Amino acid sequence: MLSSPVTFGARFPQKSKPLNSLKIGMVALTALLSPGLVSAQPPTGADSVEITTRSVIPDNLKSNHQLTFSTCPDDGVRPVAVDPKLSGLAASSAEKVALLDYLRPRTAKIQIKYERPTTPTDKMSTVRQDEFAPFFRDFSLEKGGIPKSDGTGFVCQPDGVVLTNHHVVKAVLNQAGKITVEINRKIYPAQIIALDEAADLAVLKIDTQGEELPTVHFAPEVRQGEFAALLGFPGGLHEVLSSGTLSALYQVPPRPLSNLTAHLTEASVNSGNSGGAVFNNRGEVLGQVFGKADPRRAENRGYVTPIEFLQSALARLNKGLPIDNRLSLDSNVIEQYRVAGWDDDDIAQLDKNPETQALLKKIRAKALEAFEVMSEEEVGVSVIKGSDPSGVGDVIVAVNGERFQNQFEFQALLKSIFQGEAFELTIIRDGERETLLFPGK
């Protein structure tokens, strides 16, 4: 059940209680956050956390390299002295040329080569098969039918740590192959340090033979409308620069394109750009390209992972923690705003199943009760497992104090949290606003 985005207004004062369970009838949220944030009945309280790892990296591709930096180090180098009047909102032709020279040694071509001959049908079997598949398939065939896929990455640490997209390297996890990284026309074999499928992030390690590589650095501030440039390898071409603006911030891409919020850029994004950085005119990273909109629906809309998702993953790897264990829900999320407006006829037309009708009526009653406390501009959600009306309880209105405009933003906020990290949920329970605290491990 989907609904249109709804704007939200000012924050409410909140009271905090050291609680660790969310009532959804007889089912606790801790049992629905999967896999295994906290057991349904933790033996020692909410700080009893089980970390699980979902990604399986083949031994020949796995790197045990320990990151030595918690983020991309800033060496203070910049491509050009930018006119302060522009403040990063534009770039002249001369500045673009200087920017290109600056980005070349910091941008990587990622290439996956498979060891067995295959057919065009076979080579697509390990990647997406939905409507967004054409914008994730960066494949071509070499002579003899050996498939390869191309993507882009960027050097994050001088000892050879390179970031790209999970979907660029995903196929090689399921069949024999190798990863190579080309930087400034020099080719290196690469291994995988870690994968974060939810953020479409892959962290690679190349052997630089002791050579320190120039690195990118993250922008201290990201602003809508500022200049945005991509340097990548689309369609097998070499070092293609495109530019535009960062046209929107923190949008919700169509599912299943991403499980997180994303920035948008009007700079040209094509197959082969996946995994590359989006830079401002100072050479600072604004985010990471992971896809584009279907051109049948929208033009000039590339999707960009916000840098905070990249930074949080790198910070965890620096501490030796996994990054493939973001919180997720295996249950239905229903928006209170829409359900509250349904009458019995609407519910009957929506679903003929009596159990589902009873569930929706219970949700509607809880929504109307919550609206006595919520502002009319505030959006709330219920997390529902199954179709049992007894499974309807609390209404969630914020995650870590951040409100959401729809159910997809709610789930994106959850996925910004890793298992074992402390977080809080603001809820409406029995007509009162409460904050549930989930202590970290």
Q: Which two tokens stand for residue 186?
A: 């020099």
CA angle, 360 then 366 then 369, to 5°:
145
Last residue of a domain, one of 297, 324, 351: 324
Residue 10 domain flag: no
The average pLDDT across 212-231 equals: 92
Q: Tell whether 235 and 318 lie within a shared domain.
A: yes
228-239, pLDDT tens digit by residue? 999 998 877 888
> Does residue 7 fall inside a structural domain?
no
pLDDT in tens, 367-404: 888 888 887 667 888 877 767 677 677 889 899 988 88
Q: What does pTM read for this prediction?
A: 0.75
Count CB neighbours of 401 within 10 A. Answer: 11
Q: Who's near 58: CB < 8 A, 6+ residues apart?
A: 172, 173
Instruction: Please answer whether residues 25 and 395 qualify as being in contact, where contact means their C-beta atoms are separated by less than 8 angstroms.
Output: no
399 is a domain residue: yes
Looking at the fold, whether 266 and 207 belong to one and the same domain comes out as: yes
Flag whether 395 is in a domain.
yes
Closest alpha carbon to 149 in 164, 137, 166, 161: 137
Same domain for 344 and 218: no
Tell me the DSSP string of 28-79.
Answer: EHHHHEETTSB-SS-TT-TT-B---------GGGB--PPPS-SS-------S
Say yes or no: 224 and 298 in one domain: yes
Higher pLDDT, 125 or 85: 85
Evaluate whether residue 5 is within a structural domain.
no
Same domain, 225 and 352: no
Residues 302 and 336 in one domain: no
Q: Which domain holds residue 376?
A: 16-52+326-438
- Report how many domains make up the chain: 2
Residues 194 and 294 in one domain: yes
> What is each CA distance from 291 to 240, 294, 351, 375, in whole angstroms?
17, 9, 35, 36
Same domain? For 108 and 35 the reply is no
Average pLDDT over residues 283-294: 89
- Mark which of 265, 291, 324 sits at the end of a domain: 324
Would residue 2 count as lying in a domain?
no
> Are 37 and 105 contained in the same domain?
no
Residue 6, domain member (yes or no):
no
Both 127 and 178 in one domain: the answer is yes
Each residue's pLDDT tens digit, 256-278: 556 678 999 999 998 889 999 99
Domain end among 324, 355, 374: 324
Are 316 and 293 contained in the same domain?
yes
Determine what percent of the chain is predicted with pLDDT higher than 70. Answer: 73
Cα 181 to Cα 21: distance, rounded to the nearest angstrom: 46
Looking at residue 140, which CATH number applies to its domain?
2.40.10.120
User: Is 424 a member of any domain?
Assistant: yes
Q: What is the mean pLDDT of residues 118-144?
A: 45
Which has the higher per-residue pLDDT, 76 or 243? Answer: 243
- Residue 309 contacts residue 315 (beta carbons within 8 Å): no
If asked whether residues 369 and 379 sit together in one domain, one would say yes
